[in-house]
Chain A
């Protein structure tokens, strides 16, 4: 990390000092508010991704937000929160590259404010509420730097009516394996067939390593989930997914799986217009893609339906319908 911007207001925060100590040679630049650096429009996400800067800040409002309707794994009250913005991986299909003008990472160091907001949100419901942490970032990939998952688990382990999903492609599971499983936490891994992962999930651990991590967590007693989202079309889609799922379910116990969600590649049309400017040479964005009536850009509706049906049929050879949550 060569450049770190830090808000003056959190310059003395103990978590700031801890994070800075990991990057002793970085240049440090003081700022007033993170959005001065992060929000300006004329930035190049693609180029910044080659050498992102880190921004340390305090989140002032909107710590917990309503999750999109399709973002659920069985709960009725669904929220997300982001202690970090942007991801250390560079998955070509990721909507973040269309959503933000900057690829720099923001870490909000005021974790306690997130936990207070989570308590306040949960208190509004009589039923358990779900809180998703991997919406704007990978929940675990930066754990050695942030220590956020550990802090988060300490909070949720004391509140059984609050459910947490950690969503990740990372194999940074050491802190989880060192603690007792938290019964109201699901560790969900985003997975794709190996060939797709190699082609599109730049910088992310390989499929095999992710399945290794899943196995270890399941054996240690953690609830695990699978996120097959996005499904990416390939000419050998059915055979590719069949082989991938056979391998996966030969290594994990499907009956103890908390949930599987799936959805095809799509993103809001406005995000897509940004993304194609950044990566016009990427065939994922030029082939079999269209603007749809639902203001999403993605595969044509017929194709999407076919991919979902094929993937669902293949999954139901291994899991129960009750474990399956299509994101449509």
Chain B
């Protein structure tokens, strides 16, 4: 249970800070290291997940391969985001890949394809990245095939698969640093070179993250309302239509009065109908001119 102490359930987007949680998924320690140093993160001790964090950002080391990326990212996100939220986290995969491009080049994925299943994902580039785009194909084992228009990696498809259960396509991005090409095949690759290649790009990567965070900040702050909704869903059974009504009334309450009704009072009511009526009455009271 050590992990729970390090990642208490309160470690949600709302509890951490006003900024959204950013989760960076890497496969190798050599990829995570430069990020941990750049962002000055502290290690989280746990036998199941390797990660480093501060209030705003978490770097996860998943191990090699699509399956590791998928399962460990899924586990980490389940802890970070225990409740569904409209303020979903920013999830980014950063790792090395092979491509017929200069070593050390940084690319953002415009398309991720799983080589085995041929399933594809298109991360939405709404945040307007400055890094050039590249399609990424995820293989199950290292390869010596190189193309100019495709980077080959081993994790991106697993990352996409897991991250999209928790966040949207605007906040699910893959960045690849070219680590091997026809002139430098993978057997010349070692941990120190990977660390160097990632380290050389970490500043630029940070700038890209800022763009993503700026986009994410444009979402309405619904944290208080969603927390209240979750409390009421636990005590009462709301139909989809009543969930919609509840949200509408809570926002009306907040838009008009600047506050939300007391959750304890609402929880004590015996029916959903009574809850909705009480919020409606409360929201109709004269309040400050907003």
Contacts and interface: CB of A to CB of B under 8 A. Distances in A.
Contact of A48 (B126, B222, B225, B248): B126
A29 B167 CA distance: 23
Contacts of B125: 2-3, 27, 53
B251 A286 contact: yes
B286 to A, nearest CB: 14
B151 interface: no
A286 B169 contact: no
Contacts of A53: 124-126
A51 interface: yes
A34 to B, nearest CB: 11
A280 B126 contact: no
Contact of B122 (A31, A44, A50, A272): A31
Contacts of A273: 240, 244
A286 B248 contact: yes
Interface stretch (B9-17, B25-33, B212-220): B212-220
Contacts of A2: 125, 128
B168 interface: yes
B143 interface: no
Interface string B119-135: 01110111110001101
A contacts with B: majority SS:
mixed
A285 interface: yes
B215 A29 contact: no
A286 B170 contact: no
Contacts of B124: 43, 48, 53
A281 B218 contact: no
B145 interface: no
A241 interface: no
B219 A46 contact: yes
Contact of A40 (B169, B215, B222, B255): B169
B170 A29 contact: no
A27 B248 contact: no
Contacts of A44: 168-170, 219
A2 B132 CA distance: 12
Contacts of B86: 277
Contacts of B164: 40, 42
A50 B169 contact: no
A276 B244 contact: yes
B238 to A, nearest CB: 12
Contacts of A279: 220
B247 interface: yes
B244 A286 contact: no
Interface residues of B, number: 35
A283 interface: yes
Contacts of A47: 126, 168, 170, 215, 218-219
Interface string B237-272: 000110011011101100100000000000000000
B108 to A, nearest CB: 10
B220 A281 contact: yes
Nearest to B242: A291
B111 interface: yes
B110 interface: yes
Contact of A50 (B218, B241, B245): B218
Interface in A219-264: none
A180 interface: no
Contact of A51 (B121, B126, B135, B248): B126
A289 interface: yes
B254 to A, nearest CB: 8
A163 interface: no
A36 interface: yes
Nearest to B166: A42
A2 B215 CA distance: 15
Contacts of A150: none
A272 B248 CA distance: 10
Contacts of A297: 244
A291 B245 contact: yes
A69 interface: no
Interface string A261-300: 0000000010011001101110101110101000001000
B160 to A, nearest CB: 11
A43 B122 CA distance: 11
Nearest to A277: B86
A37 interface: yes
Interface in A15-73: 27, 29, 31, 36-37, 40, 42-44, 46-48, 50-51, 53
Contact of B252 (A31, A40, A272, A287): A287
Interface of A: 2-3, 5, 27, 29, 31, 36-37, 40, 42-44, 46-48, 50-51, 53, 269, 272-273, 276-277, 279-281, 283, 285-287, 289, 291, 297
Given A37-B122, A291-B245, 5 more contacts: A36-B122, A43-B169, A46-B219, A276-B244, A286-B252
9 contacts: A3-B110, A29-B135, A36-B122, A40-B121, A42-B167, A48-B170, A276-B247, A280-B248, A289-B248
Interface of B: 86, 110-111, 120-122, 124-128, 132-133, 135, 164, 167-170, 215, 218-220, 222, 225, 240-241, 244-245, 247-249, 251-252, 255
Closest 3 CB pairs of A and B: A286-B252, A280-B251, A29-B110
